[in-house]
Amino acid sequence: MLTSSRFAYTQARLQVRHGLRLNEQQWRHLESQQGLANFLHVASESGMSDWLAGLHADDSIHILEKFFSKHFRDYVEQVSHWQPAQWRKATLWISVLPDLPLLENIRNRGEVPQWLSDDEELGPLLEVSDDALVQRLALTRYAPLTATWHSTTSMLESWRTHWKECWPDTSAKALAGVESVEALILRHRGSFMELKTHATAAARSELSKQLGLQFRRLSQQPAAVFAHLGLVALDVERLRGNVSSRALLLNSVAAKQ
């Protein structure tokens, strides 16, 4: 069993990162910036600066998408090292979550973004036979998903099954906390898929608010880590959306000249 004292170091590191998050007023100021170069300049002087290190205004949209995907993956790995050893595996598995839609498309032979062909892990899964695909998948961090690859089980359900297998023996209180964070995100996901486009921003804002409350309420518990990563994922998604939309506009203007 793990007590809250074992998470004191983890919580201290999380609090520092949590304090760097932008509030809504800061987000609105950032989003009011016109042009990608200006947006990146202002963002680089904010709490989001670490998420932009190495990014350039003239990067292609494919480079941008790959950049944010890798950056989030690296951050999850960093957070996992703050965790007590028993929870590191479950934390690392969070890094797979953003890739589930891509994996679903690969499984169904659907359309995938161009940058995927250059991805070290996902690229080798493209344009190969089903058998070769599963064999290659088994050599990656996505390996646990091979168990249900040829079934009708969704990628998310396969992911959740393995995630729970990664949970260590823990107290009922700690388990309830993790399950409450999971339930909150799943409820949001279910309702979000039914929303009109104009309502999605408000839904994300509400989820951010609820995750923030759970982060504080479940302090020094494993659930605080997952609430924090949920908040970070929302912030990165918002940042990526702003960067990508400005990059697309910049490319459109350049194409007309």
Within the chain, residue ranges assigned H as helices are: 8-19, 24-31, 36-43, 61-80, 88-92, 100-107, 130-137, 155-166, 172-192, 200-217, 222-256
The predicted model scores a pTM of 0.92
CA-to-CA distance for 100 and 145, rounded, in angstroms?
10
pLDDT at site 199 = 81
CA dist., res. 235 & res. 229, Å (int) = 10
How far apart, in whole angstroms, are the C-alpha atoms of residue 92 and residue 81?
9
What are the phi and psi torsion angles at 149 (to 5°)? -60, -40
CA 34 to CA 20: how far, in whole Å? 23
Half-sphere exposure of 222 (CA within 13 A, CB side): 29
> Which two three-digit tokens encode residue 225?
């880590």
Q: How open is the CA angle 76-236-139, to the nearest 5 degrees?
A: 40
Do 151 and 181 meet the contact criterion of CB atoms below 8 Å apart?
Answer: no
**Cα–chain center distance at 4:** 26
**Joined tokens for residue 252:** 């459109």
Compute the radius of gyration of the chain from its Cα atoms. 19
In terms of Cα–Cα distance, which of 145, 142, 170, 14 is closest to 86? 170
C-alpha distances out from residue 216 to 20, 174, 211, 219, 224, Å: 15, 14, 9, 5, 7
How far is the CA of 151 from the CAs of 1, 8, 134, 137, 154, in angstroms? 35, 41, 13, 15, 8
* pLDDT given for residue 118 in this prediction: 85
pLDDT in tens, the chain (257 residues): 455 667 899 999 999 999 999 999 999 999 999 999 999 999 999 999 999 998 988 888 888 888 999 999 999 999 999 999 999 999 999 999 999 999 999 999 999 888 888 888 899 999 899 999 999 999 999 999 999 999 999 999 999 999 999 999 999 999 999 999 999 999 998 877 777 777 888 999 999 999 999 999 999 999 999 999 999 999 999 999 999 999 988 756 555 55
